[in-house]
Structure 1
């Protein structure tokens, strides 16, 4: 390894500190969850808090993904069609920046913060995939989101996380598989859920989704 000057090392330390503290708080994520579930009053609030945090502390993958997903919610709630397009496209670009940053700055599990019961990078990919696959076809991001699900749910790092933390991801992935007319994959993911916790509420919900799509 090349020798670095003390100034360079200090600079890297400051960047690392910023990177660690920039991840969104559980409070902001809770507000985002309410916004995603349809609480329009929370959307602008979450956007403002995430945007201010990133400007103040610097960007990290998870915050960018949440910010981008929030922008797509602004598109969802916008009245004018051009605003729906504008906000959603801005959100997709922001999520892509988050994923690019995630890929360019890999971190071991032991170095990642836990958010919503998951290591932050797993959560970032989950939110990105759920957002991409939930949007109308006109935005041309469904295939990308589905590919993220295929990779994510085949990753042992993900599948060995606590079931309560990953079961919701399976739900979105199964819905995406059915939308892609990939019923064998949807059935496979459902069977994985049933193997882990057959009577869990999310497993029962997934079972109903697959059965209704038959």
Structure 2
């Protein structure tokens, strides 16, 4: 075998291996269908919570843990806490969820955007951080995660990767970030984020919703 032919075989092997890794990552990330069910659960459809929990748990068990799935699983566990009747179950599920989200965030790596799975029109790292932040900032103060969630928003919305995404995909994140800033009493930051939304699309429904939120808080 000459050197040129050996090099071609090596390159082909590396290409196939890389494609296999990428395929594994695609399988491991939660599907759009599961995320859609999660969105319904987060909006208050209690019947979807256990369904999403079982699907994500089974997927992680069979495919292995990835950052985005772990964050969604943890957020779903906090929804189980939200819907639990007994106070001790509310605490148990929510604390389990917070721990699971933290594990998910710890799995985020520095892969370039073109190596990341996209879900909901966003790279997995952006979506994972957004879901973590929205979960942390939505919980009662006694769980002591609001500041951590707000810090994630402050970093995420300044990140070049986030700002490179389409406004259609990021507009909902601005809304939740603005809600968090108003809860924190940081009206100046809320207005800065609103200004950024207006610069991207002043007539977008999410932009108008953000304006209404800030006006109500004034």
Segments of structure 2 that go 5 or more residues without pairing to the other structure are 1-15
What are the within-5 Å matches in structure 2 for residues 45-194 of structure 1?
Answer: 45-102=51-108, 105-194=109-198
Q: Retained in 2: the 8 A contact 1:116–1:165?
A: yes
Output the CA distance in 2 between the equivalents of 1:149 and 1:32: 21
Output the CA distance in 1 between the equivalents of 2:94 and 2:18: 34
Give the drift of 1:152: 0.3
2:33 equivalent to 1:33: no
Segments of structure 1 that go 5 or more residues without pairing to the other structure are 1-9
- Higher deviation after alignment, 71-80 or 159-168: 159-168
Q: Retained in 1: the 8 A contact 2:84–2:90?
A: yes
Structure having the higher Rg: 2
Q: Retained in 2: the 8 A contact 1:50–1:67?
A: yes
Structure 1 vs Structure 2 CA RMSD: 1.6
Give the drift of 1:107: 1.0
State the TM-score, normalized to the length of structure 2: 0.89
Output the CA distance in 1 between the equivalents of 2:201 and 2:22: 38
1:138-186 deviations in Å (ceiling 9; x for gaps): 0000000000000000012102211111000000000101111111000
Give the drift of 1:19: 3.4
Give the drift of 1:16: 6.1
1:71-117 deviations in Å (ceiling 9; x for gaps): 00000000000000000000000000000011xx3211001111001
Q: Retained in 2: the 8 A contact 1:19–1:59?
A: no
Point out 4+ residue stretches in structure 1 off by more than 4 angstroms: 10-17
Q: Tell me the number of residue pairs that the alignment of Structure 1 and Structure 2 aligns.
A: 203
